[in-house]
Homo-oligomer: A and B are copies of this chain.
């Protein structure tokens, strides 16, 4: 049976996962990072694999940007749990023809992201492959009182996002179609940054949190599934920069679609109790409901979402 016949990668992960009975495992498969009790604190563990062609292209990424993106995509997972990054392990699969300068550039980018946002590279593995693949594991820590998982949103909670969405997908499409200009939008795809600033401000009060790696709709669905709730999304309030809207128009596509179903924006989406309305940073984009299902409200129209983020084995 092919993965597509099974229903995609999320079905696959469900099928493969077995629960451990180790009492120190607080959160395992299914959140931004795994959480382990370790003394007074919690240890956070996350890993991301980036493949040439699927996650980056040497055609429009500099090696340094590839390194930045690899590290940031993991740092963002640590931010989404309320934590701080500590230690990274980097595995690289390289071809005979990969240039040493390219690899040095990738490391340059990873070291830059560590200096800027935290963490030290302490080990890894180098091996041969038919394409360039970066597998990065990041260990972080979080005070117990500041841990925020996907599960914990309550009906009535407000949904916020930390910043503008859709830019990464717009940037990717601009690059792929080789459209001139929109340099700042292109950088949203090639040089993302993690929102530790926002995480630090909201982690003590947020009831659920995630980073936007697979589109806002998908992340809100994840929170709802883990929290056993539904949600309303106010389409008109989803923050999208004018330049991103312009880029989408130029591409003949919808910036709102990019925000909802694109991904890799690495902003945070978090839920807070209704009494914190206006008291947390970010943009109010929806609310948690008791009734299951994700409803998108666009002007007068209400529609139940059935389409979510990117699946490597479905589209």
Q: What total of chain A residues lie within 8 Å of the partner, measured CB to CB?
A: 68
A110 → B minimal CB distance (Å):
9
State the CA gap A120–B313 with chains docked (Å).
26
A169 → B minimal CB distance (Å):
17
* B126-A12 in contact (CB<8A): yes
A246 → B minimal CB distance (Å):
31
What are the interface flags for A11-47 relative to B under an 8 Å C-beta threshold, 1 for contact and 0 otherwise?
A: 0110110101010010011000110101100010111
* A123-B33 in contact (CB<8A): yes
Looking across the interface, which residue of chain B has its beta carbon closest to that of A4? B96
* A18-B123 in contact (CB<8A): no
- Chain B binder among A97-105, A188-196, A221-229, A255-263: A97-105
State the CA gap A178–B48 with chains docked (Å).
37
- Chain B binder among A51-59, A145-153, A231-239, A268-276: A51-59
* B51-A127 in contact (CB<8A): yes
* B12-A103 in contact (CB<8A): yes
* B9-A126 in contact (CB<8A): yes
Looking across the interface, which residue of chain B has its beta carbon closest to that of A22? B120
* B25-A100 in contact (CB<8A): no
* B127-A312 in contact (CB<8A): yes
Asked if A3 is an interface residue, CB under 8 A from chain B, the answer is yes
A46 → B minimal CB distance (Å):
7
* A123-B46 in contact (CB<8A): yes
Q: A15-B104, A104-B16 are in contact. Are A39 and B38 (CB under 8 A)?
A: yes
